[in-house]
Amino acid sequence: MPAHRPAPVPLPAHLSWRPGHFTLTRDTAVRTSPGAGPAADLLRTLLAPATALPLPPSPDGTVVLALDPQLRGLGEEGYGLTVGPDALLLRAAHLTGLLRGVQTIRQLLPPEALSRTPRRGTPWRLPCAEITDVPRHAWRGFMLDVARHFQPVSLLRRYVDLLALHQLNVLHLHLTDDQGWRMPVAAYPRLTEVGGRRAESMVGPAGSTGFDGVPHQGFYTRAELTDLVAYAAARGVTVVPELEMPGHARAALAAHPELGNDPGRRLDVWTRWGVCDTVLAVDDRVLDFWRTVLDEVMEVFPSPHVHIGGDECPTTEWAASPAARARAAAEGLPDTDALRGWFLGRIGAHLVGRGRIPTAWAETGEGLPPEFTVMTWRDPEHTRMALKRGHRVISCHHRAAYLDYAQSADPAEPQGQPGAVVDLRAVHGHELPDDTETSGTLLGVQAELWTEFAATADQVDRLVFPRLCALADRAWHGTTPWSGFHDRLRAHGARLAALGVRHGPLDPYAPLPHRSRKEQS
């Protein structure tokens, strides 16, 4: 691609360059069709900090944003963009498609357009082009674990903008875990008052013996979360809440010991990393607790999908509990291990009754009713099994999507989750099975950042970028060649710099000096 041509990440499905360019100036005005106003507002909001362009509405505007039912074939998110020397025309059948096109307009401008501070003197030029764009996968997500380390809502808003720039459409918030509860629940204030704070944190990976002696705490207000949902919606991003059960629930148990298998026992919010043996009891009070909590969650988060965790639930406490054994027998279950699926099924039914889609981590691809959307993470085979069982599936395979692993074997890498290296190429090459011969649906793909080793915004950025760019290319376009992505990513570095995003190496596969051009292509 010639140097003067922008290199979008992700790559649009169909892009043809044309001669000439279109320039945005102080005189450029925007014409919108009925219903397209929010896309024009987003364009103005996003371009204002760097360009200070007013882009006023006008029936004679040369930037045209139009809802056009003729583009229905491009679906909810598809759009057409024509940049000519005298006009720019963005069309889509739905508002979401226009929001995607706005992000492409940003990427066609010089990288300075993404700056958060004024960049006077830059000509705001876009090369002429014809783009017809539609995503390969409907679900293009990023999960942030705010339980292990809390992050202020300002970081979440910044990430919504970064997701939207990369045409990603889901921010999945892992809001509760053994080490912290971050969502306020009016019916149970102790969840955040007690569960939102831990005394200290383990230093090093699970099983380490050192602790930092530093309390860690934080939780969101309901207003912050409500505002975040609206902020994300204006950018075409859905915020999906996750509340973990029946394992990974130690923070809830610290606040409410009566929900445990030994109600007399006092527990702390967990200060360790790893899988905690303490899990919730399986009685009706616990189910009622979750129904109340989730009803409040659904008031704040309109997302169709509501994630209830379900992973890594040791069953030793249930096996030892007469009440749990009696419950398993009364429900006709073969053993106490089956209580996990039973528990999730009961809570899932509550969500279905409220018109939502229960979502959980797939442990083995077994044990959940088909109405669950599952996130497969352990093994690509689980993705295939879940599709055969008829689930909607999001692939989160840890070796291609877990950004808490190191991105290279370089000893200078910051501390990450031990056990694997997830490099850029692995993320870009995320293997996704075909769902056509199954009764299930492959919804898409999602990256996750578990934050045992990411306490600060700087650490979060450096683990997430540039790997999230590779996921975005994979999720939106499908399969672009690695070499082309790699070239685009190097150019994309100027955009990340303009945005102030700190990142890991953009160029871990620099061509060896003696490779011929043929080998590199």
- Quick one: 295 or 379, whose CB is closer to ligand ACM? 379
Per the residue annotation, which of 248, 391, 486, 492 is the catalytic one?
Answer: 248
CB of 453 to ligand ACM, least distance (A): 14
Helix (H) or strand (E) run with residue 467 in it: helix 467-477
Neighbour-count burial of 231, counting CB atoms closer than 10 A to its CB (0-12 exposed, 13-18 middle, 19+ buried): middle
Per the residue annotation, which of 68, 77, 145, 177 is the catalytic one?
Answer: 177
Binding test (CB under 6 A) with ligand ACM, winner from 312, 337, 371, 379? 312
Specify the DSSP class assigned to residue 10: S
CB of 452 to ligand ACM, least distance (A): 11
For residue 47, give both structure tokens.
Answer: 């371009």
Please indicate whether residue 335 is annotated as part of the active site. no
CB of 365 to ligand ACM, least distance (A): 14
Which amino acid, one-letter code, is at 74? L
SS3 51: helix
Specify the DSSP class assigned to residue 268: P
For the chain, the straight-line distance linking the first and the last C-alpha, in angstroms and rounded, comes to 13
DSSP string, 6-74: ---SSPPSEEEEEEEEEEE-TT--EEE-TT-HHHHHHHHHHHHHHH-----B-TT-SEEEEE-GGGGGG
Q: State the number of binding residues for ligand ACM (CB under 6 A).
A: 4
Please indicate whether residue 149 is annotated as part of the active site. no
Which amino acid, one-letter code, is at 142? F
Calculate ∠ Cα 181-187-188, nearest 5°.
35
- Quick one: 318 or 377, whose CB is closer to ligand ACM? 377
Q: Phi and psi for 213 in degrees, rounded to 5?
A: 70, 10
Residue 338 and residue 142: Cα distance in Å, rounded? 30
Q: Does 361 bind ligand ACM (CB under 6 A)?
A: yes
For residue 206, give both structure tokens.
Answer: 């699970």
- Quick one: 224 or 311, whose CB is closer to ligand ACM? 311
CB of 313 to ligand ACM, least distance (A): 10
CB of 364 to ligand ACM, least distance (A): 12
- Quick one: 22 or 273, whose CB is closer to ligand ACM? 273
Binding test (CB under 6 A) with ligand ACM, winner from 377, 405, 453, 465? 377
Residue 261 and residue 69: Cα distance in Å, rounded? 56
CB count within 10 Å of CB 387 equals 25
Per the residue annotation, which of 41, 262, 296, 312 is the catalytic one?
Answer: 312
Give the residue at shortest CB distance from ligand ACM: 311
Please indicate whether residue 177 is annotated as part of the active site. yes
Q: Does 311 bind ligand ACM (CB under 6 A)?
A: yes
CB of 377 to ligand ACM, least distance (A): 5
- Quick one: 404 or 423, whose CB is closer to ligand ACM? 404
Q: Does 268 bind ligand ACM (CB under 6 A)?
A: no
- Quick one: 22 or 402, whose CB is closer to ligand ACM? 402
Chain residues in the site for ligand ACM (CB under 6 A): 311-312, 361, 377
**Residues with active-site annotation:** 177, 248, 312
